[in-house]
Structure 1
Amino acid sequence: MQNPAHGPGKRQLDKAGWVALACTAIEQIFEEQLVMPHAELEARLWDRGWREPGNPKPLPFFPHILTLAQNELRRDGRIQHIAHSTKGGRAVDLLSTANTRLRTTAISRAARRKGMLYARYDRWVPSFGDAGESVVAHSLTEAMRRGDGFTPVAPDRRFGEISRIGTLTFPGPVDNGAWQTVIDPATGLAVPHLVLIEVKNRRLTLYPRHAEVHQLLHKAALAAEAFPGQPIVPALICRRGHSWLFWMAKDLGFRVLQTRRQFFTLPDKTNPRYLTEVQEELGFDLHAINGAMPNIIDFFKSTLPKESAAAAQRWKLMAPLALALLRRPAQGHPRRARTHGTAAQPVPRRRTRHATGRPRRAADLDLAARGRTREPRPPLTAP
């Protein structure tokens, strides 16, 4: 029986069929590249798509399918892990083809090159968070200047982090927020909507199960509880999101923008060629914000004005259910270690999953969006 969490898609393949096809694509890529970090594998086969022989249209593979295929290839001994150490002493995890016959030297050279490039990328990581938030703040400022109906929530009247609104103090700052003026179609009156924005400028493709998604929903649900009459629109801005995340957003009443770019600040006096090498050889969609600041105006100019009213109405209904689920202690996340005497013994991880194979919290949020709850398990009886 096909797992309901994995639709057949246009290829009419079940989950096992997609994994098998991904194995073929991965092996072909390794024949060309010899060595890659996992992030490059996703960049080539998810962001760019596989150039299947005889098919001019790129075929993208979801990250979870690539992970399953990669694990299968490693179990079968067709690809292998390399723990590479760069000249600068950085440890980089790489994958390589296991077919080393007559190309040991080429694989070693590729490992040094890919290790150096990924270590270079890793040195830029600390700037990603601030860069993503700067792009969003700049885009909101431009939207306000253009008269698109946005004004800052922060007391200093500038777009940026928000720690509290009125009597509500958030458990952690919200990356950005805005008052958006929305015209009520029924009355024709202007109604201010509170847009709460979280920015996740990471390589990670976000799924409904990820904590980054739950952070936004928790803060927005707290705001809905504190201000029951206020229309609220949660908005998540990320580099990439899985289609399940967009379905979840529609069901619960929040909005998602995927930028398909990872913003960062190129360090001063850095040769631009270093960025080009990472972009071309690792396939990363990096975008330096030095100089002209990029905009994501369309999200604030077109998407939110059209969808904010409907999203706020939906979120008003779903926020209490989401808050109840997100306040509950997470299942399947025991402490990392339990101390016995002086030695720390690892605790086996017990993952509690829904019938679809997805973590329970994400599955429960989806059920809540459809007005249902998970049926309790029947009590155990003695034989």
Structure 2
Amino acid sequence: MVSNSAGAWVSRGRAAILELLAEQHAAPVVELEARICDRPWRDQPKPIDPHLLTKARKELLTEGLIGEVVATTRGGGEVGVLHLSPIRRGMARSIEDAAARKRLLIARWKSWARGSKHMPNLIGSGGEAVVHQSLLASAPYGYRVLQPTRGEVATIFEQPVPGGALDNAAWLLTMDLRTQTPTTPYLVPIEVKNVRHTLYPNHWEIYQLLHKAAGLANAHPEYPVLPILVCRKAHYRAREFAKDLGFLIFDTHDQYVLPSERIDLTHFEEVRTELGFADLTITNQLNPHLVDWFSGVVHREAQRYAPRFMEFGRHQVETFAALRRERLRWRHRTVWLEELHRATEEHFGNVGSWAPSEVEYG
């Protein structure tokens, strides 16, 4: 019988990392996660959770079975690349060549995500474009998009959005099925996090949305607020967290890149295949699955999720403000997360297992 304990999955993660490095000679962490966490590695029954792969990687580093070399790329960024350790005789040159190649590919990919005065952030803009087109296509199902031409929403109720501009926002009008009359419209703030890492409840990106949404809800409590996060991939514990706090998450399972003449398509394909980024996609068109989700799931779940956010989530502004700080140290983040979990449990009773004491996050 196959064991599904956390320890068993860590052991599978260790084996997968060692096999991958033996095959590739060198690989950055994002490649490990793309090949082992986004899809099953070889004969594994399913993908390995990133936090368990992180534990496996740390164990191997501590035991000296793998090593890491951090070097600066031509673009000025630091990239860490893992390799088997100790380096066997005759393998040093192969590892050095593979590591240099992986650093080059990572630098290319990061250049699409950084943006500059000469070129937009093609990855951030790509995700926002796909969501905007999908939201516009959902308009016949009750959405009034606040900024139909550009997506980004900086002001609502003629006031700046608390905490900064939103990637998108809309009013959602639903119908009372019994009386066939419109209900009070929902205000739907939307943030798009088109990032490679799997989002957990400890990631700051989630709280950027919640902080802004709470500010809007507190300023105008007469309108129920339904926050929506669109990302490449969220962990199931993030879904438990969303259910408890009263917001919705949609996984695209793609990392979008805005079409641009500045992208060399040969280079793009090399990044996809050599780093295992199989979901990297050049597009600015709608996602039909997201349109279906906006049109169906959001309508069905609004009356369940928005009241929770208005009853509890909107009152956690101070906590959200702290947790949205990208550079907040883990020991401090843990304190805020544990307090948020405790307060949620005290308010609602039985809640999900997303506190830091209950899971080692990736």
2:49 equivalent in structure 1: 62
Which of residues 1, 9, 31 is equivalent to 1:18? 9
Q: 1:315 and 2:309 equivalent?
A: yes
Q: State how far apart, in whole Å, the 2-side matches of 1:68 and 1:297 are.
A: 37
1:298 equivalent in structure 2: 292
2:106 equivalent in structure 1: 118
Question: What amino acid is the match of 1:47?
Answer: D
Task: Give the gaps of 5 or more residues in structure 1.
Answer: 1-9, 337-348, 354-358, 374-383
Q: State how far apart, in whole Å, the 2-side matches of 1:77 and 1:282 are.
A: 24
1:247 equivalent in structure 2: 240
Q: 1:272 and 2:265 equivalent?
A: yes
1:219 equivalent in structure 2: 212
1:34 equivalent in structure 2: 25
Larger of the two Rg values belongs to structure: 1
Q: How does 1:1-16 map to 2 (within 5 A)?
A: 11-14=3-6, 16=7
Q: 1:367 and 2:360 equivalent?
A: no
1:294 deviation in Å?
A: 4.6
Q: State how far apart, in whole Å, the 2-side matches of 1:172 and 1:269 are.
A: 30
Question: What amino acid is the match of 2:180?
Answer: G
1:167 deviation in Å?
A: 5.4
Q: State how far apart, in whole Å, the 1-side matches of 2:275 and 2:347 are.
A: 44
Question: What amino acid is the match of 1:363?
Answer: E
* CA deviation vs aligned residue, 1:264-294 (integer Å, no higher than 9, x gap): 125415432222211111111211126x555
* CA deviation vs aligned residue, 1:168-199 (integer Å, no higher than 9, x gap): 43221111101111112454321221111011
User: CA contact under 8 A between 2:204 and 2:323: conserved in structure 1?
Assistant: no
Question: What amino acid is the match of 1:31?
Answer: A
Q: State how far apart, in whole Å, the 2-side matches of 1:177 and 1:25 are.
A: 42
1:131 equivalent in structure 2: 126
So what's the TM-score if we normalise by structure 2?
A: 0.83
1:47 deviation in Å?
A: 0.6
**Residue identity (%):** 35
In structure 2, the CA distance between the partners of 1:350 and 1:282, relative to structure 1 (3 Å rule), is: closer
In structure 2, the CA distance between the partners of 1:67 and 1:309, relative to structure 1 (3 Å rule), is: same
* CA deviation vs aligned residue, 1:337-362 (integer Å, no higher than 9, x gap): xxxxxxxxxxxx78257xxxxx2323
Q: 1:238 and 2:234 equivalent?
A: no
Q: State how far apart, in whole Å, the 1-side matches of 2:74 and 2:180 are.
A: 65
2:282 equivalent in structure 1: 288
From the two aligned structures, give the one with the greater strand fraction: 1
Q: Indicate the RMSD between aligned Cα atoms, in angstroms.
A: 2.8
Question: What amino acid is the match of 1:367?
Answer: R
Q: 1:172 is paired with a residue of what secondary structure?
A: coil
1:163 equivalent in structure 2: 154
Task: Give the gaps of 5 or more residues in structure 2.
Answer: 115-121, 349-362
User: CA contact under 8 A between 2:213 and 2:314: conserved in structure 1?
Assistant: no
Which of residues 162, 169, 181 is equivalent to 2:173? 181
Deviates more, 1:38-47 or 1:224-233: 224-233
From the two aligned structures, give the one with the greater helix fraction: 2
Which structure has more RCO (C-alpha within 8 Å, separation ≥ 6)? 2
1:344 equivalent in structure 2: none
Matched residues, number: 335
User: CA contact under 8 A between 1:209 and 1:361: conserved in structure 2?
Assistant: no
